[in-house]
Amino acid sequence: EAQVTQNPRYLITVTGKKLTVTCSQNMNHEYMSWYRQDPGLGLRQIYYSMNVEVTDKGDVPEGYKVSRKEKRNFPLILESPSPNQTSLYFCASSLLSRGSYEQYFGPGTRLTVT
């Protein structure tokens, strides 16, 4: 079954404690990205990757890091989480194109930073 998986699904942590949210897809997609969803703001892109070892900033990259060492995985790293990073996070993947392909979204990770 084609899918994007994220782990963990729920996470409560404290300010400053490094964490990683994993994302994996089994569709051999080149393009992967991370979004955060906040009330009244919709979803905003954090980082994206167009292939292995190729990553770039989205609209709200501050406080986040990513890596793309393998095609299927695209982890999101919060080196020193802060309360303003409390949000719902989605990973997505698609074939690389000029905007024409459907993006497949993971189930979401709800992060709370206290």
Partner 1 sequence: AQKVTQAQTEISVVEKEDVTLDCVYETRDTTYYLFWYKQPPSGELVFLIRRNSFDEQNEISGRYSWNFQKSTSSFNFTITASQVVDSAVYFCALSEARETSGSRLTFGEGTQLTVNP
Interaction site with partner 1 (CB under 8 A): 30-31, 33, 35, 40-45, 48, 50, 58, 88, 90, 92, 94-105, 107-108, 110
Shortest distance in whole angstroms from residue 112 CB to partner 1: 14
Shortest distance in whole angstroms from residue 73 CB to partner 1: 17
Q: Which of 74, 93, 84, 92 is nearest to 30 (CA)?
A: 93
Whose Cβ is closer to partner 1: residue 65's or residue 110's?
A: 110
Whose Cβ is closer to partner 1: residue 100's or residue 114's?
A: 100
Q: What single letter denotes the amino acid at residue 29?
A: H
Q: Is the dihedral of CA 113, 65, 3, 49 positive or negative?
A: positive
Shortest distance in whole angstroms from residue 34 CB to partner 1: 11
* 108-to-89, 91, 92, 98, 99 alpha-carbon distances in Å: 5, 7, 10, 25, 22
Q: How far apart are CA 40 and CA 9, in angstroms?
A: 22
Whose Cβ is closer to partner 1: residue 62's or residue 102's?
A: 102
Shortest distance in whole angstroms from residue 107 CB to partner 1: 5
Whose Cβ is closer to partner 1: residue 30's or residue 71's?
A: 30
The full length of the chain comes to 114
